[in-house]
A and B are shown apart, each in its own frame.
Chain A
Amino acid sequence: MLDNGFPLATESNILKELIKPPTILRTVVNTITGSTNVGDQLPTGQLSVVPWRRTGVKYTNNEAYFDVIEEIDAIIDKSGSTITAEIQGVIDACVKLTGMPDLTLSFMNPRLLDDVSFHPCVRFKRWESERILSFIPPDGNFRLLSYHVSAQNLVAIPVYVKHNISFRDSSSLGRFEITVGPKQTMGKTVEGVMVTSQMPKGVLNMTLTPSQGTHIFDPVTKLLSWDVGKINPQKLPSLKGSMTLQAGTSKPDENPTINLQFKIQQLAISGLKVNRLDMYGEKYKPFKGIKYMTKAGKFQVRT
């Protein structure tokens, strides 16, 4: 990998050729035959013009999958208005195609992409002139593209959080109430919702009752996490209860921030859509698949 401190081979495909990643099957085979995961051929990939692709790839099922995954980074303030929101998207691909295929991927709305960075296989000139991704893909999984839709564009925030967290000065009790609800989800369900919050040091314990899901409060790290699951728009999930504060100390002057995680399948929140995928250079017809997903990135609600 390194030669005298200078990076020599960092392309994962070449490294995989050198030492094959362990799989259960291979472990079994190795035990029986006494061989190891260390590749016995010389890494010829380093010599080729397309160092990212192995030579002589063969598959019986030729398939190419692309996942468009978008993450929303947002800061929502106390009153529920968005302070900053931006979308970080990636297109991860899993390409299992025989030979040396040359793919082109085009978007319905390429102008949407504000700032992109490519896998080295993408021909930059073509992108510059036609906004088309043209590339000879590496074999297997790789990140084709990552992009950024900046804060200047209006970013739809798919969930909202209603919160009421208060510490009373006199008593050693505090009130805690959170409700999560969907907003601008384009008709899709919000799943995998997870709420975490770092409580102030003064909080000794919390007695809460969730309307759905499970919650844990770790009294050592003061971390509250609530695994909500799916949001049902008819019956909004909520977490209510009280906090026990350390007696004798004044109330903490800061409110905890709430970090949110969620997933929305079949939706790219920026509206990015892949138009078509074509293959040149090989005869066979591959199976193509595209999947969209929106996730919460660093999604934070200040209280």
Chain B
Amino acid sequence: MLSLLPVQKLLRQLPAGPAGRPKKTAGGDTAEEVTSPVLATEAGQPTCYSALRAEELRPLATTKPMVATGTGPPPRHDDLKEMLDSNKDSLKLEAMKRIVAMIARGKNASDLFPAVVKNVACKNIEVKKLVYVYLVRYAEEQQDLALLSISTFQRGLKDPNQLIRASALRVLSSIRVPIIVPIMMLAIKEAASDMSPYVRKTAAHAIPKLYSLDSDQKDQLIEVIEKLLADKTTLVAGSVVMAFEEVCPERIDLIHKNYRKLCNLLIDVEEWGQVVIINMLTRYARTQFLSPNQNESLLEESAEKAFYGSEDEDAKDAKAEAASLAKRKPYVMDPDHRLLLRNTKPLLQSRNAAVVMAVAQLYFHLAPKAEVGVIAKALVRLLRSHSEVQYVVLQNVATMSIKRRGMFEPYLKSFYIRSTDPTQIKILKLEVLTNLANETNISTILREFQTYIRSMDKDFVAATIQAIGRCATNIGKVRDTCLNGLVQLLSNRDELVVAESVVVIKKLLQMQPAQHSEIIKHMAKLTDNIQVPMARASILWLIGEYCEHVPKIAPDVLRKMAKSFTNEEDIVKLQVINLAAKLYLTNSKQSKLLTQYVLNLAKYDQNYDIRDRARFIRQLIVPTEKSGALNKYAKKLFLAQKPAPILESSFKDRDHFQLGSLSHLLNTKAVGYQELPDWPDEAPDPSVRNVEVPEWTKCTSREKRKEKVEKPFYSDSEGESGPTESADSEPESVSEESGSSSSSSSSSSGSEEEDEDEEEGSGEQSEDKEEEEEKRLKRKEKEGSQKAASGSTGSLSEEEEEEEGAKKAKKKKAPQGRKGHAETSSEEASASESSSSGSDYGSETEAKQRKAPTRAGPKEISLLDLDDFTPPPPQPIPSSSIVSTSLVTDLEGLTLTDTSLAPALLSPAFGAVRTYELLHRMAGEGLSVEYCFSRRPFPGDPHMVAVQIQISNNTDAEVKSLRVSEPKPLSGMRIQEFPEIERLAPGDTVSVVMGIDFCDSTQAANFQLCTHTRHFYVSIQPPVGELMAPVFMSENEFKKEQEHLARLGEGKLMGMSEITEKVTLPEKCRSDHAIVQQVTSAANVGRVPCGADNEYRFAAKTVTSGSLVLITLERREGAAAQLIVNSEKMVIGTMLVKDIVQALAQ
């Protein structure tokens, strides 16, 4: 009672407003009086003592009113408000301290928001800091009021002191108010180019905060990240990589240029930054370099085999075989890979356990086997630190020790267990020791285990017995010793130990039961004493299973068990039934009645499992008239050979998680876990990491490009033409399968091919999308030109000329910078490239020839439709070629570089270009005109669609001054005529290009085609697919745009901007290739890379208005598919859907 008094007094005095402060201390003193009157009577208390009292009381003072008013009306903080409104900083500080203390204790202080926010401009830095803490906590709840404070931070962002700039940004970015996202974005962008590295670091920290607030900002944030990644200061490096990991870990391409810099800076980065960078670089290296152990894996195949599932193994075998067949050249480590290993090694000496662990996992995942050993020492060192660190390190060591046993063998003794270790540490150490056990050290380990068995920690003893069991299974030499040891344990006084031993012995005996009838007999005796159900069940199972080895004892055991049946646990009862059944089958004479008895008991058991089992077994073993055919096989059913269980480590499959990660620790995939990619089969281009003087970059990038073009050709002819062939004949997979099954030689070649394909695939995947896209374009472009080249022997086709003409024009118009690049490159490399492309021709023509039949298909049909007289498709006419041959050869080299000039301009799609008739030869009196959409950008005007017109003169007279006249365009439509053709000799064909701006409508363009004698009214009606030009975008951009469009639609009417259609894909149009081809032939769209493999995405812009058209084709099961077209232009969308559906149905 007495002790309560001071507190009550205190409480009464507390709600006394701002003046309550001094009173409170007075209250404290009265408390003093009561408890220690001696001290209170002393007038001159030591100052420090009273000060201490005051300090102590403060938390007390803030807690008590809360507790007191907790049940009553909501707390009013009038006193706090008044304190905050006062002029004195000390009062404000006091109030803020109390408020922050409330927040820390989880009390709601949000009603103070207005009063607190006012103080954001306070001069006192301490008050300011506390206000910031408050703001960060409550701004999300009171967004409108929080906006009041923003201007203060914005002012802070301009402060000359870098530290203030930084903290302003830090607080601003911590305030989670969606309205200020643009302000944050702006602030981050500005801070990213701040002079002070500290501010830039803070900017990097702010990026993930903004991203978590509004993930729509991703693209802009990536730009900032890209910029910051290029930063050369160590202060920034760690933070920006952290931001990178949070925001866009998939954009591994951003790292290329900074890779070497990061490696070199690494040692000077602060510790936590090092951890992040090392983890990121591990992932990077896994995608960019080859496995350093691939050669060894061939040699150690047998050793590795155990670690792979059978399927993997087969695949791996096949691959390895293929590799050995191909006589893969010896592995040479990429110098960049080596750089990473070299620069991280010193960090093993870090004092920070996290850094050491990060380096250790990097070495484990990336280093050649011979070098991984260096990490063992450092990890063993970490075992000295706190038990938390120990726990994590031991988990990782346990995983490593399975894969690389040799690594930790010298440190075996460091894993010996002390009685003072916590149990989970003991068990982990035991795990490691068991993993390390081999024939040479097993005796030491077993001796050590013997001491452990006597430990007081029973869980640990049980784990030790398990470990002994595992050692016995793994090392055949010591199996008998272990077994004997375990049998001795059976006479242990502790029941748990005995039970665990019984279970382990059971498993061990299963491996070689015949030799151990003695042990079984011994165990049979134990049934009298052991009470642990699991152990009893194990013994009964053993006796039942091997009743033939102990024919005399078994029935006796059954008799005893039958007696105690009703008192047994359920698992024991089940085993008794089991034993009875087995005995009945082997020794029915002695045990028939007993079995009947047991089954009868079981029939009336409380547990339905047991009743069910009894019923089932009775039907099975006791022959009756009704019992079915199974009766005969009862013996086979019950006494079948059972495989011995394999005792294995629980850490066996953990290494598919990145070591050191939370997922690895938990052995389940944690949220946000980034899968560690597998090594690529083919090294991606190492030159992407080259960073040198700007000219250099150009050069290398060009070299790289060339390489790219050359390299894929082999695979090209396989990968590209393969599907086309198969589309005609039969699916590739079938042929492959049959190949592999038929004979060994063909199978090896088949697998080799497959390997090749795979390599190509994975290589492409790992490369950044941009490059991939570029490459594909180039391939297409080249194919296009090659088609022409091979079609005409020696000279160029019209088409090519056209292109060159266009290019020439473009080149003239192109801005100086671009042009310079193109020209220099063409000049420098024209020789080499033309020669290289020349040499390529051989292989390409091959590919081309294979392709030829498919492409000829539609044309032949059209030939059949018309008469024989129809002019053949574009024929080269040497005389009409405007460009001189020398120029042609000059320009030939350009075709390679030209597309790279403007990667955004996409080249025409492959596949047949459809030609339409403009003027039939009958109607045109011998003059026939056809047109097609070349899908090249019209050189004069980007808003025009280029229409290639082919005019053939089938008359026997010359046609003169062929031109377009009197175009009658509809509103807004424009036509750019082709230059007048002076004369066209009989039998000749000429091809020209004209540009038409269709204004994004499918209205026909009408005009007159004039000759010197006649006028023909003609009209060109574009299919909707030709009204657009492909655009390049990444998957993310695509998604963003799609969302954007979808939202537009919501604003107006649903379905305004999105059209969805269900499609059934015909048989021949199910392969990736076919789908892409059909879509791209129906519309002039560019493919967008897509992560999911059952989805195809295409994007284009309408030529005139430039509005986006996004196509998504999602394949469902079987033939079903869903087509989604997003476009602002509803009409175009609808028509496009129709066209694509039609194209797909063909």
Closest to B205 in A: A3
Q: A298 and B349 in contact (CB under 8 A), knowing A47-B198, A88-B384?
A: no
Q: Are B494 and A6 in contact (CB under 8 A)?
A: no
Q: A32 to B416: give the CA distance in the assembly, Å.
A: 57
Indicate with 1 or 0, residue by residue over A47-67, a CB within 8 angstroms of chain B CB atoms: 100010000000000000000
A-B contact pairs, 6 of them (CB 8 A): A3-B202, A32-B47, A83-B413, A143-B351, A298-B418, A300-B419
Q: A42 and B161 in contact (CB under 8 A), knowing A7-B272, A302-B451?
A: yes
- Going nearest first, the 10 A-B pairs with the smallest beta carbon separation are A84-B413, A31-B51, A7-B272, A254-B454, A42-B163, A257-B419, A115-B377, A124-B346, A3-B205, A117-B349
B contact face: mostly helix, strand, loop, or mixed: helix
A contact face: mostly helix, strand, loop, or mixed: mixed
| CB of B242 within 8 Å of the partner chain | yes
| CB of A253 within 8 Å of the partner chain | yes
- Among A6, A28, A40, A128, chain B packs the most CB atoms within 10 A around the CB of A6
- Among A75, A255, A259, chain B packs the most CB atoms within 10 A around the CB of A75
Q: A117 to B492: give the CA distance in the assembly, Å.
A: 46
Determine how close the nearest CB of chain A comes to the CB of B473; give it in whole angstroms.
26
Segment of A100-108, A145-153, A280-288 engaged in the interface with chain B: A145-153
Chain B residues whose C-beta falls within 8 Å of the C-beta of A253 in the assembled complex: 454, 492-494
| CB of B125 within 8 Å of the partner chain | yes
Q: A38 to B267: give the CA distance in the assembly, Å.
A: 32
| CB of A292 within 8 Å of the partner chain | no
Contact with A24, one of B48, B126, B170 (Cβ below 8 angstroms): B48
Closest to B350 in A: A117
| CB of B939 within 8 Å of the partner chain | no
Determine how close the nearest CB of chain A comes to the CB of B292; give it in whole angstroms.
23
Chain A residues whose C-beta falls within 8 Å of the C-beta of B197 in the assembled complex: 47
- List residues of chain A with CB under 8 Å of any chain B CB: 3-4, 6-8, 10, 24, 27-28, 30-32, 34, 36, 38, 40, 42-44, 46-47, 51, 73, 75, 77, 83-84, 86, 88, 114-120, 124, 128, 143, 146, 148, 150-152, 198, 200-201, 250, 253-255, 257, 259, 298, 300, 302
Determine how close the nearest CB of chain B comes to the CB of A44; give it in whole angstroms.
7
Task: List 13 other contacts, CB 8 Å, given A10-B272, A28-B47, A124-B346.
Answer: A4-B174, A6-B205, A8-B205, A47-B163, A83-B448, A117-B349, A117-B350, A117-B378, A118-B350, A150-B411, A200-B456, A257-B418, A298-B418
Q: A114 and B377 in contact (CB under 8 A), knowing A124-B267, A201-B456, A253-B494?
A: yes
Contact with A128, one of B47, B346, B411 (Cβ below 8 angstroms): B346
Contact with A40, one of B125, B380, B384, B493 (Cβ below 8 angstroms): B125
Contact with A83, one of B90, B126, B349, B416 (Cβ below 8 angstroms): B416
Closest to B492 in A: A253
Closest to A7 in B: B272
Q: Are B351 and A254 in contact (CB under 8 A)?
A: no
Q: A7 to B346: give the CA distance in the assembly, Å.
A: 22
Q: A62 to B300: give the CA distance in the assembly, Å.
A: 61
Q: A38 to B93: give the CA distance in the assembly, Å.
A: 12
Chain B residues whose C-beta falls within 8 Å of the C-beta of A28 in the assembled complex: 47-48, 51
- Among B410, B416, B456, B492, chain A packs the most CB atoms within 10 A around the CB of B456
Q: A15 to B821: give the CA distance in the assembly, Å.
A: 54
Q: A46 and B198 in contact (CB under 8 A), knowing A27-B51, A40-B125, A84-B413?
A: yes
Q: A6 and B351 in contact (CB under 8 A), knowing A34-B90, A128-B346?
A: no
Closest to A86 in B: B414
- Among A7, A51, A302, chain B packs the most CB atoms within 10 A around the CB of A7
Determine how close the nearest CB of chain B comes to the CB of A294; give it in whole angstroms.
16
Q: A119 to B239: give the CA distance in the assembly, Å.
A: 21
Chain B residues whose C-beta falls within 8 Å of the C-beta of A119 in the assembled complex: 351
Q: Are B126 and A38 in contact (CB under 8 A)?
A: yes
Q: Are B456 and A300 in contact (CB under 8 A)?
A: no
| CB of B420 within 8 Å of the partner chain | yes
| CB of B764 within 8 Å of the partner chain | no
Closest to B270 in A: A51
| CB of B162 within 8 Å of the partner chain | yes
Q: A86 to B418: give the CA distance in the assembly, Å.
A: 14
Q: A250 to B267: give the CA distance in the assembly, Å.
A: 61
Q: A44 to B198: give the CA distance in the assembly, Å.
A: 10
Q: A86 to B196: give the CA distance in the assembly, Å.
A: 47
Chain B residues whose C-beta falls within 8 Å of the C-beta of A143 in the assembled complex: 351
Q: A98 to B129: give the CA distance in the assembly, Å.
A: 32
Contact with A120, one of B239, B351, B419, B456 (Cβ below 8 angstroms): B351
Chain A residues whose C-beta falls within 8 Å of the C-beta of B414 in the assembled complex: 84, 86, 150-151
Chain A residues whose C-beta falls within 8 Å of the C-beta of B163 in the assembled complex: 42-44, 46-47
Chain B residues whose C-beta falls within 8 Å of the C-beta of A86 in the assembled complex: 413-414
Closest to B417 in A: A75
Q: Are B239 and A6 in contact (CB under 8 A)?
A: yes
Contact with A124, one of B48, B170, B349, B411 (Cβ below 8 angstroms): B349
Contact with B410, one of A152, A259, A302 (Cβ below 8 angstroms): A152
| CB of B684 within 8 Å of the partner chain | no
| CB of B582 within 8 Å of the partner chain | no
Q: A36 and B48 in contact (CB under 8 A), knowing A3-B205, A83-B416, A118-B349?
A: no
| CB of B754 within 8 Å of the partner chain | no
Q: A27 and B48 in contact (CB under 8 A), knowing A47-B198, A115-B377, A259-B420?
A: yes
| CB of B209 within 8 Å of the partner chain | yes
Indicate with 1 or 0, residue by residue over B339-352, a CB within 8 angstroms of chain A CB atoms: 00000001001110
Contact with B454, one of A34, A84, A255, A298 (Cβ below 8 angstroms): A255
| CB of B819 within 8 Å of the partner chain | no
The A-contacting residues of B in range 85-134, CB under 8 angstroms, are 90, 125-126, 129
Closest to B497 in A: A253
Q: Are B377 and A116 in contact (CB under 8 A)?
A: no
Q: A42 to B162: give the CA distance in the assembly, Å.
A: 10
Chain B residues whose C-beta falls within 8 Å of the C-beta of A51 in the assembled complex: 270
Contact with A36, one of B126, B239, B456 (Cβ below 8 angstroms): B126
| CB of B140 within 8 Å of the partner chain | no
Q: Are A151 and B494 in contact (CB under 8 A)?
A: no
Chain A residues whose C-beta falls within 8 Å of the C-beta of B380 in the assembled complex: 115, 148, 150
Determine how close the nearest CB of chain B comes to the CB of A61; give it in whole angstroms.
27
Q: Are A115 and B381 in contact (CB under 8 A)?
A: yes
Q: Are B419 and A146 in contact (CB under 8 A)?
A: no
Chain B residues whose C-beta falls within 8 Å of the C-beta of A259 in the assembled complex: 420
| CB of B27 within 8 Å of the partner chain | no
Closest to B164 in A: A42
Q: A77 to B494: give the CA distance in the assembly, Å.
A: 23
| CB of B716 within 8 Å of the partner chain | no
Chain B residues whose C-beta falls within 8 Å of the C-beta of A151 in the assembled complex: 411, 413-414
Chain B residues whose C-beta falls within 8 Å of the C-beta of A38 in the assembled complex: 126, 129
